[in-house]
Amino acid sequence: MRMIISKSTEKAASVWTKALEENTGYKSADLKNCSEAYCTLTHLILKSDKHGIMDKFAKPECLEVLRIVK
């Protein structure tokens, strides 16, 4: 499952549904810090001169991670 994470200040509809809350025990607000940290991490990876990180995640077993980062 992919979630679209936006830094927009506009109020957007949550992609975290009631069913997801019930099945995971997490509310949308619980995931905010995690999603912000993820956005920060991907931003730092993309602007880093340490391209070995991108090479590592370009391997077939990690391809989904690379697609998310790009």
Contact 42, 7 (CB under 8 A): no
Query: What residue ranges do the domains of the chain occupy?
Result: 18-69
C-alpha–C-alpha distance, residues 15 and 4, integer Å = 8
Is pLDDT above 80 for 21? yes
| Per-residue pLDDT, 2 | 47
Q: Per residue in 54-67, pLDDT tens?
A: 777 777 777 666 66
Q: What is the dihedral of CA 31, 56, 2, 5, to 10 degrees?
A: 50
Least-confidence region, from 5-14, 29-38, 41-50: 5-14
Q: For residue 31, what are the contacts with CB-CB under 8 A and spacing of at least 6?
A: 16
If pLDDT is split at 50, 70 and 90, which confidence band does 1 have?
very low
45-54, pLDDT tens digit by residue? Answer: 778 777 777 7
